[in-house]
Structure 1
Amino acid sequence: MREGTWAAGRLAEGSVLRDVIDTSDPSAWLWLDEQVRADEWYFPPYGVPAWEETAGGRSLTAALRADVPLTEGQLALALCHRDGRIRHRALGRVAGRPALLPLVAVRCADWAQPVRELARKRLVEALDAEAEAEAAARLAPLVRRLADRHRGDFALGLLGEVLRRAPGEQLAPLFASPDRPVRRFAYGLAVEEGRLSPAELARAAAGDDDAVVQSLCAEAALAAVGEGDTEEVLGALLGARSPRARSAGVTALRRLERPERAVGFLVDRSALVRACARYVVRQYGTDPLPWYRERCADPGDPALPPGAAIGLAECGTRADAALLWPLLDHPVPGVRARAVAGLRTLDVTDLPRMRRLLDDPAPGVVGEATLALLPSAGLLPEAWLAERLAPERPRWVRVSAYRLLDAHGGVVRLRAAVALLGDADERLRSRAELTVRRFRWWGTDAEVAELLDRARAHLG
C-alpha cells in the first residue's frame, strides 16, 4: 500500500504519468484504478484522500470545478477517484489526452451510470476516426481484461468495430502480442473478416503456442483451403511442432484423399497425432496393427522410431508384449522408454526384468520404469532401493528410488525421508522434510520413535 501512496503523491505533485507507472502494462492501469480508492489513503471521517490538497494548493474537486489546468497525472487520479462526480468531471477534460485513454476504457465499465455513459461517449469519439486504429490496437490488452468485468463488453465491441474498419496491417502487432487473449481476439477477428489466407492461417496455427489459436487457425485454414494452396497448408500443419496443429493436418488427409501421407504419422511423438493417423488409414481399409508389428519385429533395428513401440501398445493386445520386451535393450533411449510405456499401457509388468531399468543411463527410461513399477513398489526390496539414494548416483535414479520407497508407506517411507533430511539436493530434501512433518504414527514402535527424534533434532 505504501507503494500506491507514493505513486499517487507523485502524480498529484505533477510527475509525468509514464515516470510513475508502466503505461504499456495493462495491469498497471488496473492497479492504479484500484489503489487510488484504497481505504488507507483516506483520512477518516471526512473521506478526503491524502493527496487531494496538493493540486496547486486547492482540492482536486475545486480544481476540476474551476477549470484549473491539471496535469495528466492529476487527471488520472481524478479518473480513479472514489467519488463518481469527480470521475464524471474528469471525463469532461480528457479530450486531446490520448495517454489517458486506458483509464477512459476502464470507466466504460464503471458502476455509476452517468460516468459509464460519458466514458463510452469519450472512447467512441477518440477511436471513431480510422486513423485511430493504432491507438485501438494498443488498448487491446487492457480491453480484453476489462471484458471479463460486469458491463465490460462495450469497450471490446468498440475495439472490434474499429479494427474491422482498419487496414489489415493494423492487426499484425496483435498477432504477435505476448498476451494470449489478445492474440485469440485478433485471430478470431481475422478469421471472421477473412483477413488471412489459408496458408497464413496454417502458418499461424503452426507457429503460435496457444492451443485456442492453433485450433482456430487450423480449422479455418482447412475450411478455406483450395487446390492451389493445399500443399502449402498441409506442409505448414504437418510440419508444426504443436501436436494440435499436426493432428488437424493429419485428420484433413482423409478429406483430401491422401491416406498414404498419414502412414508416416503412425509413429509420431504425440499420442493425439498417432490416433488421428490410425483413424485416417483405417478409413481407407488399412489395419495399422500389422504395420506396427512388422516395424517392431526386429529389436536391433537402429532406425526403429520410438513411436512404433508405443503405437503397437495403443492398438495391440497383451500378446504384443512379446514384441516389446526385447526392445528394452534397444540402443536408442527413446525406443527403450516408449517400450516401457507400451508395456505399462498393456498392463504387463515383470519386476525382475523391469527393475533393472531403474539403473538405465537415460532419465526418460528410468522415469517410465518408475511409473510402471509404482503399483508394485511394495514388492521391491527396500535395501536395494535405499542404495540408489546414495549421493553419487545420478539424480534421476535417486528421485526414482525415493518415489518407490515413498510408495511403500509406513516406516519405510519415514526411513527414506529421514535419510535425505541433510541432502544437498534441495528438491529432494524439501520433499523429505514435508514427508517427515506430515508423518503420523500411533503406537509405541521404538524404531519410529527414534527416527522421529532424529528428524526433530535435524529440523529443530
Structure 2
Amino acid sequence: MRKSIEDSRDGSAAAVRLAEGASLRSVVAAVADPGGWLSLDAGVREVCWYQGVPLPDWERTAPLPADLTRLGESGLALALCHRDGRIRQAAIRQSRPHPDLLPLIAIRCADWAAPVRERARGLLREALTPQTAADLAPLILRLGHRDRGDFGIELLADALRQAHLEQLAALFGHPDRGTRRFAYRLAVEDRRLSPAELARTAARDEDAIVQDLCATAALTTMQETDVDVEDLLEPLLTARAPRVRSAGVTALRRAGRPERAEPFLGDRSAVVRACARYVVRQYGGSPAAWYRERCATPDDPALAPGAVIGLAECGDRGDGALLWRLLVHPAGGVRAQAVAGLRTLDLADTRRLTPLLDDPAPGVVRETAVALLPSAKQLPADWLLERTERERPRHIRVAAFRLLGAHGGTAARRAAAALLEDPDLKLRTWARRAAQQAPKGSAAQRGVR
C-alpha cells in the first residue's frame, strides 16, 4: 500500500510539471517504466479525498481550457488522464498526431467508460505497428491484469506476429520478465525458433517459465521433425538449471540412448536423478545396482554426493551398511549425503550420529541436526549447551541451539539467554524469539532487553 501511495505522489509531481509547461519527453524520463505511466494516470486524477484540497495540484496550477484543440502534447497528456470521461474522450480525438501519447492511449483502452474505451481502442488499432508494439509491450501486458485489459493483449499479439524475427528477438532480452515470457510464448506458438535455438534458450535463460516453455517445445519438435538429436540434447543435458537437465535426461528415452542417462543417476538434483532412474529402468537397467557399485568403496575420491543419496532414494534398509561406512569419507558432501540417506531409510542412530555434530563441514552438521531432531531429548543437554559457546564454529552453534530448542528445559532457556549477545545476527534473532516465548521470570526472559 505504501508503494502505491509513493507512485501516486510521483505521478502527481509529474502532472504538475506538465501543467507548468514541461515537455512530455522530459517528464517521461522520470516515469519511463510501465508503473510510471500508470502513476502519472493516477496522479493527474488526484482529488480532495487524497490530498484534502478541492482540486489536484496540477489543475490549480494550469486548468485545462474548454477548447482542447489549443492544447499541446503536455496538455493533452493531462486531458487523457482527466477524471472527467468527456474530457478524456475529447483528448483522444486530438491525440492522433502525437505518437508519444500512445502509452496513455493504451491505458485508456481499459478505461471504465465505454465511449472512452472504444475511441482509444480504435486509435491504438490504427497506430500499433510491430515497432510500437515492441515499445508498448511491458505497459500493455501490465494493463492486461486489469478488467477490460484483454483487448490490448490480443492486439499486441497480432502486431508482434507481423514483426520480423529480429524485432521479436529484441524482446527476448527485455528487462521486464513478463515481456520476455510473452515474446517467447509467441515465438514457440508460431514456431519461429528452431529446435536447437529452443534448446539453447532453455539452457541459458534464468527464468523458470522460459526454461520450461522452450525445453518442452524443443522436445516436441524432436518428435515431429527430423533434427540432429545431439545438437538438441547437448544444451539441455549440460544446463545449470535442474528442470532443464531433467527434460534432457527424459528425452534420452525417446532417443534410445539410456547409456547417456547413467551418469545422471548421481546428479546433484533429486529431480534429475529420478528422471535418470526412469530412463535406465525403461531399458532394463538397475539403478540400485549402479549406486551400490559406486558406494562400495568408502574412500573413493571420485564418489559423487548425488550417488550416495541416490542409493537411499531407491535402495532398502540393507544398504545402510554402505552408508554408515561413508561417514568417514574425506569429502564433506559425501558425508552429509550419507547422513541424509540414513535418515531417509529410517536408520538414524542417535549414539553413532551424535559425534558428527562436531564435524568441520557445515553440511554434515546440518544434516546431522535434522536427523537427530526427533531424538533431541536423548542428547545430553549440557553437552549441547557447550556447543553454543562463542568460540565454537557458527554451524555447530546453530545446530546445537536448534537441538536445544527441541530438547526444551532449562538448558534451552540458558542457551537462548547466552546467544542474545552472539555476534551472528541470525542466531541473535532466533535467541530473542526463543527468549520471548520462554516462561516469565526465566533466565532467558531476564536476558531480553
TM-score, L = length of structure 1: 0.90
Distance, in Å, in 1 between the alignment partners of 2:77 and 2:435 is: 53
Letter in 2 for 1:126: A
Matches within 5 A, 1:286-297: 286-297=285-296
The one of 59, 68, 71 aligned to 2:70: 68
User: Which residue does 1:455 correspond to in 2?
Assistant: 447
Query: Which region of structure 1 is more displaced relative to structure 2, 290-299 or 401-410?
Result: 401-410
Q: Which of the residues 186, 208, 212 maps onto 1:211?
A: 208
> Is the contact made by 2:140 and 2:152 (CA closer than 8 Å) also made in structure 1?
yes
Is the CA contact (8 Å cut-off) linking 2:382 and 2:411 kept in structure 1? no
Map of 2:397 onto structure 1: 398
Distance 1:293 1:42, change over 3 A: closer
Which residue is 1:48 aligned to? 55
Quote the residue 1:165 is aligned against.
162
> What residue ranges of structure 2 are gaps of 5+ in the alignment?
none
C-alpha spacing 1:288/1:407, structure 2 compared with 1 (3 Å): same
Q: Would you say the 8 A contact 1:42–1:48 is kept in 2? A: no
Distance 1:66 1:237, change over 3 A: closer
| Aligned-residue offset at 1:66 | 4.4
Assess, with a 3 A threshold, how the Cα gap between structure 1 residues 24 and 294 changes in structure 2: closer, same or farther: same
Query: 8, 11, 14: which one pairs with 2:18?
Result: 11
Mapped contact 1:351–1:373 kept (Cα < 8 A): yes
Distance 2:139 2:412 in 1: 50
Contact map agreement 1:41 1:50 (CA 8 A) in 2: no
Q: Corresponding residue for 2:430?
A: 431
Please give the TM-score of this superposition, normalised by the length of structure 2.
0.92
The alignment yields a C-alpha RMSD, in angstroms, of: 2.0
For 1:79 and 1:41, how far apart are their aligned partners in 2?
A: 21
Using the TM superposition, give the Cα deviation of residue 18 of structure 1 relative to its aligned residue in structure 2, in angstroms.
Answer: 4.7
Aligned-partner SS, 1:174: coil
Q: Quick check: 2:195–2:221 contact (8 Å CA) kept in 1?
A: yes
Distance change (3 Å), C-alpha of 1:401 and 1:66:
same
Provide the rounded CA distance (Å) in 2 between the counterparts of 1:43 and 1:264: 66
In structure 2, the partner of 1:101 is: 102
In structure 2, what is the equivalent of residue 231 of structure 1? Answer: 230
What are the superposed Cα offsets for residues 50-82 of structure 1, whole Å, 9 maximum, x if unpaired? Answer: 321433xxx21x25x24222343x333322222
Q: Does 1:186 align with 2:183?
A: yes
> Structure 1 counterpart of 2:345, which letter?
L
Q: Who is 2:82 aligned against?
A: 81
Q: Cα offset for 1:178? A: 2.8
Q: Deviations over 1:244-276 (max 9, x none)?
A: 111111111111111110111110111001000
1:331-410 equivalent positions in 2, closer than 5 A: 331-410=330-409
Shift of 1:452: 5.1
Q: Which amino acid aligns with 1:421?
A: L
Matches within 5 A, 1:122-271: 122-127=123-128, 132-225=129-222, 226-271=225-270
* 2:284 alignment partner in structure 1: 285
Cα deviation per residue 1:397-456 (whole Å; 9 max; x = unaligned)? 2222221112223544332221111222222112222222233x3xxxxxx624255234
Q: Partner letter of residue 389 of structure 1?
A: T
Counterpart for residue 445 of structure 1: none
Q: Summarize deviations over 1:205-262 as a string: whole Å, max 9, x none.
A: 1111222211111111111125542111100100111111111111111111111101
Give me the whole-angstrom Cα distance separating, in 1, the residues matched to 2:227 and 2:290: 33
CA shift in 2, pair 1:98/1:437, >3 Å: farther
> What percentage of aligned pairs have identical amino acids?
60
Q: Secondary structure at the match of 1:95?
A: coil
Distance change (3 Å), C-alpha of 1:254 and 1:275:
same
Tell me the matched-pair count.
Answer: 439
Q: State the AA in 1 paired with 2:56.
A: P
**Aligned-pair CA distance for 1:25:** 1.4
Q: List structure 1 segments (4+ residues) > 6 angstroms apart after TM superposition.
A: 41-45
Contact 1:91/1:104 (8 A) holds in 2:
yes
CA displacement 1:107-145 (0-9 Å, x = unmatched): 111111111111111111111xxxx31221121112222
After TM superposition, give the deviation of residue 96 of structure 1 in Å: 3.2
Question: Which amino acid in 2 is paired with 1:273?
Answer: V
What amino acid is aligned across from residue 61 of structure 2 in structure 1?
T
Contact 1:266 1:278 in 2 (8 A): yes
